[in-house]
Structure 1
Amino acid sequence: MPTYTGSCHCGAVTFEVSGDIEQLTTCNCSLCRKKNAQMARVHKDAFKMTADWDTVSLYQWNLKIAKHYFCKTCGIYTFHQKRSEPDYFGVNAQCLDGFDPASVPTIPANGAAMSVAD
């Protein structure tokens, strides 16, 4: 089983992901459209934060279920805890060292269709 290391641009946020990455997703919700990330779906047990959690900023919006994490220093989106599957993280595949996002298919997710608070 492969293990990938990952980081933000400045290296303050570091993490590891264990397991095969067989596909990536893009999402059309208002946040994901703007951050334009390709995300690998990773079970929480296969994700390990190797930096202190105080290196990331938490951003939540709408129903405040999903937790989006960005580097406090360089601002790069690194990963998020998924709203639709709270036991999974969406990891920014562009942050993974030695992983080629073009090596696996990317499928669209219809986050724009998820409910929003009034």
Structure 2
Amino acid sequence: MLYKGSCHCGKVAFEVKGEIGGAVRCNCSICARKGALLWAVPHGSLRLVAWGDDLGKYTFGKGSIAHRFCRTCGIHPFAEDVGESGERTAYININCLEDVDLAVVEVFGFDGRAA
């Protein structure tokens, strides 16, 4: 299925292909604060539609995940791993997707604080 998503103001917009089998609620210091529900997909399944200079990047700790955000409205629509090895992954914040019934998505906990 093709999903469309964006930040709040729409300056960062994207499409992502796949089936949402569940989402992760990570308890690391940034994910816990922003309240994201993350759906992991192969990076090639994510296609940016609009971003310009509005797409910011924040990394911390080991710097292996780039947390992407809109510089205008501050919403975090996705993150992506930036590691050199292996296949890249995008982590879609399903709260930013259109037409997704969050009540039916199974949510799994992830102990990012211990990772």
Aligned ranges for residues 1-118 of structure 1 at < 5 Å? 2-82=1-81, 87-114=88-115
Q: In structure 2, what is the Cα distance between the partners aligned to 1:66 and 1:53?
A: 21
Task: Kindly provide the CA deviation profile for residues 84-111 of structure 1, in whole angstroms up to 9, marking residues without a partner as x.
Answer: 9861111110100111122220000111
Distance 1:66 1:86, change over 3 A: farther
Distance 1:109 1:86, change over 3 A: farther
Could you tell me how far 1:55 is from its partner in structure 2? Answer: 1.9
Q: In structure 2, what is the Cα distance between the partners aligned to 1:13 and 1:41?
A: 19
Task: Kindly provide the CA deviation profile for residues 11-58 of structure 1, in whole angstroms up to 9, marking residues without a partner as x.
Answer: 100000101111000001111111111111111111101113522110
Distance 1:72 1:86, change over 3 A: farther
Q: In structure 1, what is the Cα distance between the partners aligned to 2:62 and 2:4?
A: 31
TM-score (norm 2): 0.91
Q: In structure 1, what is the Cα distance between the partners aligned to 2:8 and 2:51?
A: 16
Could you tell me how far 1:64 is from its partner in structure 2? Answer: 1.3
- Aligned residue for 1:111, secondary structure, equals coil
- Aligned residue for 1:77, secondary structure, equals coil
- Aligned residue for 1:33, secondary structure, equals helix
Q: Which moved more, 1:83-92 or 1:95-104?
A: 83-92
Amino-acid identity (%)? 35
TM-score (norm 1): 0.88
Q: In structure 2, what is the Cα distance between the partners aligned to 1:53 and 1:64?
A: 23
* Runs of 4+ deviating beyond 4 Å: 83-86
Equivalent pairs counted in the alignment come to 113
Task: Kindly provide the CA deviation profile for residues 52-77 of structure 1, in whole angstroms up to 9, marking residues without a partner as x.
Answer: 35221100111111100000100001
- Aligned residue for 1:32, secondary structure, equals helix
Could you tell me how far 1:82 is from its partner in structure 2? Answer: 3.5
